[in-house]
Amino acid sequence: MPSHSACPALDDRITALQQLAHAEPRLEGVLLYGSWTVGEADAHSDIEAYLYVADEHVESFDGRKFLARLAPLELAYVNMYGVLAVVFDDLMRGEFHITAAGPGIDEVPTWEGMVHLPRPEAAVLLDRTGRLTRAARHLATLRPPEPVGTARQLMDELANWTLMLAHVLARGETARAHALLHTVIAPQQLQLCRLLRDSTAHWLTPSRALEQDLPDSDRHRYTATTAAARAQDVRHAARESWRWSRDLCAEAAGRWGVQVPGRLHERISDLLETCR
Q: In what order do the strands lie in the sheet with 124-127?
A: 73-78, 84-88, 93-100, 47-53, 27-33, 124-127
pLDDT cut 90: percent of the chain above it: 85
Report yes or no: 89 and 72 within 8 Å, Cβ to Cβ: yes
Q: How many Cβ atoms from other residues are within 10 Å of residue 179's Cβ? A: 15
pLDDT at 6 over 70: no
The model's pLDDT over 200-252, given as tens digits with 9 standing for 90+, comes to 989 989 999 999 999 999 999 999 999 999 999 999 999 999 999 999 999 99
- Structural fold of domain 147-273: Four Helix Bundle (Hemerythrin (Met), subunit A) (1.20.120)
- For the chain, domain boundaries: 8-139, 147-273
State the chain's mean pLDDT as an integer: 93
* pLDDT classification of 3: cutoffs 50, 70, 90: very low
Q: Which CATH class is domain 8-139?
A: alpha beta
Q: What is the pLDDT of residue 237?
A: 97
Q: What are the CA-CA distances from residue 113 to residues 3, 26, 27, 96 (Å)? A: 23, 30, 27, 21
pTM of whole model > 0.85?
Answer: no
pLDDT cut 70: percent of the chain above it: 97
Report yes or no: 17 and 30 within 8 Å, Cβ to Cβ: yes
The model's pLDDT over 247-265, given as tens digits with 9 standing for 90+, comes to 999 999 999 999 999 999 9
Q: What is the pLDDT of residue 37?
A: 81
| Burial call 17-49: b when 16+ CB within 10 Å, e when fewer | bbebbeebeebbbbbbbbbbbbeebeeebbbbb
pLDDT at 5 over 80: no
